[in-house]
Amino acid sequence: MPTPIQIRVHDDRLCIYNAGALPQDRPALGDKAGRIVALLRDEPGLTLAALAERLNTSVYSIRHHLDRLREAGRIQRVGSRRAGAWRVLD
């Protein structure tokens, strides 16, 4: 019997998933990454420096977590680097 699949549009791309591997099955976020996502959900225009200040951590740490969140498909940068904003995808 064939494996059930599901087809979805995600970020203007057509994605095909195995039924057991849908995006909502992603692992939970760590504490700092979860707080970053919560802040970006409330204020999408926050800068790296503002995130670092609010979380009392370094800009390098924020950049690391943002890179991991982007790779995992949790966030996306919309617009330019200067005038853009973050979009939370989950």
Alpha helices in 1-90 (DSSP H): 31-42, 48-55, 59-71
Architecture of domain 28-88: Orthogonal Bundle (1.10)
Residue whose C-alpha is closest to residue 89's, from 47, 31, 44: 44
Taking only the tens place, the pLDDT of each residue in 1-27 is 556 666 777 666 766 666 555 555 556
Q: Domain residues of the chain, as ranges?
A: 28-88
The predicted structure's pLDDT at residue 6: 67
The predicted structure's pLDDT at residue 29: 77
Residue whose C-alpha is closest to residue 61's, from 50, 48, 74, 73: 48
Distance of CA 7 to the CA centre of its chain: 21
Work out whether the CA dihedral 70, 41, 83, 50 comes out positive or negative.
negative
The predicted structure's pLDDT at residue 16: 67
Q: Which residues of the chain have pLDDT under 70?
A: 1-6, 10-12, 14-28
